[in-house]
Amino acid sequence: MRDFYIRVYEIVDQIPYGRVTSYGAIANALGAGKSSRLVGIAMNYSHQIAPNIPAHRVVNRNGLLTGRHHFIYDHTMEELLSFEGIRVLDNQIVDFKRLFWDPLVDG
């Protein structure tokens, strides 16, 4: 399992500044398309295992900040995204499709 997590973190570390991706896109890039929940679990542990990756750039397939509860404060994820010029409204990325980074296409 740890190897899968490390592979997830390697992809997350490639997400460009000012862009976001989804759990499913990461799973697809790993050849494990039905493992988006496992990617989410890996992201939950990222603060302990790989604290320097940009975990705030990973959201659900609709651009919702579903992982926000796993940061130190409830608004940390939104604040980090805002610092990168990404607008969030009601815990959802504004203009998600334009900001979406697909590791299979853009990576």
Calculate the CA 89 to chain-centre distance. 17
Residue 14 lies in a domain: yes
Q: Which of 19, 95, 8 is nearest to 56 (CA)?
A: 19
Whole-prediction pTM value?
0.94
Cβ 19 vs Cβ 107: under 8 Å: no
CATH of the domain at 49: 1.10.10.10
CB 70 within 8 A of CB 43: yes
For residues 86-95, give the mean pLDDT: 97
Average pLDDT in the 58-66 region? 97
Kindly state whether residue 104 falls inside one of the protein's structural domains.
no
Say if residue 24's pLDDT is above 80: yes
* pLDDT tops 80 at residue 1: no
**Residue 28 maps to a domain:** yes
How many percent of the chain have pLDDT more than 90? 83
Whether residue 46 lies inside any domain: the answer is: yes
> What does the pLDDT read at residue 33?
85
Range of the domain at 19: 2-99
Instruction: Please give the pLDDT value at position 96.
Output: 98
Residues 24, 51: Cα–Cα separation, whole Å = 21
Domain count, the chain: 1
Q: Is residue 105 part of a domain?
A: no
In a domain, 7, yes or no: yes
Q: What is the pLDDT of residues 27-49, one digit of tens each?
A: 999 999 899 999 999 999 998 89
Evaluate whether residue 106 is within a structural domain: no
Whether residue 78 is contained in a domain is answered as: yes
